[in-house]
Amino acid sequence: MFKKLIIPIIVVVFVSACSSQETLSVENAWARPGISGGNTAIYFQVNNEAGEQDSLEKVSVSINAKAVELHMTMMSHDSETDQDIMKMMKQENVEIPANSIVNFEPGGLHVMVIGLDNGLMENNQIRAVLHFAIAGEIEILVPISMDGEN
């Protein structure tokens, strides 16, 4: 009886784990050029065709930098100057709702690469690994471009 139950359970767990990876994809990646000691931002699109929410927990890159952080650009009102100002807020993670597309783009969500050891020149590329809570690691190639046109 135990053997009859354990094998179907293992199969269901295995298929569920595989299906999450297959239904989460990352497309249209690009990053801005950056100078040595400066920063850059990485942009992309996450497509979650799974029936469950996932979460982007962190990103690692193939270049040396002081920090790699998830950020959100937000408009904030400064009451002292009575002006609206743009601020970048660090995000601990980014929720990727089920059956959705989440865009990492200028003026919104992005990956901030802080304190580049070496400059990033246009027409080069770097590797990035996106670490998701459920889908695990997805490695992408990120072309360096001024405007996202590859």
Read off the pLDDT band of 128 (50, 70, 90). Answer: very high
Name the residue among 40, 21, 28 with its Cα closest to residue 110.
40
DSSP characters over 1-55: -HHHHHHHHHHHHHHHHHHHHHHEEEEEEEE--B-TTS-EEEEEEEEE-SSS-EE
The pLDDT score that the predictor gives to residue 147 is 84
The conformation of residue 118, written as its DSSP 8-state character, comes to: S
Mean pLDDT across 107-130: 96
Q: What percent of the chain has pLDDT over 70?
A: 85
pTM given for the model: 0.81
**CATH assignment of the domain containing 135:** 2.60.40.1890
Number of H helices and number of E strands within the chain? 1, 10
pLDDT over threshold 90, residue 106:
yes
Residue 148 within a domain = no
Q: Give the residue, 116 or 11, on which the prediction is more confident.
A: 116
Residue 150 within a domain = no
The pLDDT tens digits for 37-62 are: 999 999 999 999 999 999 999 999 99
Residue 98 within a domain = yes
Domain region containing 10: 2-143
pLDDT over threshold 60, residue 123:
yes
Q: Give the residue, 17 or 65, on which the prediction is more confident.
A: 65
Residue 12 within a domain = yes
Report whether 94 contacts 70 (CB < 8 A).
yes
Q: How many domains does the chain have?
A: 1
The pLDDT score that the predictor gives to residue 17 is 47
Read off the pLDDT band of 1 (50, 70, 90). Answer: low
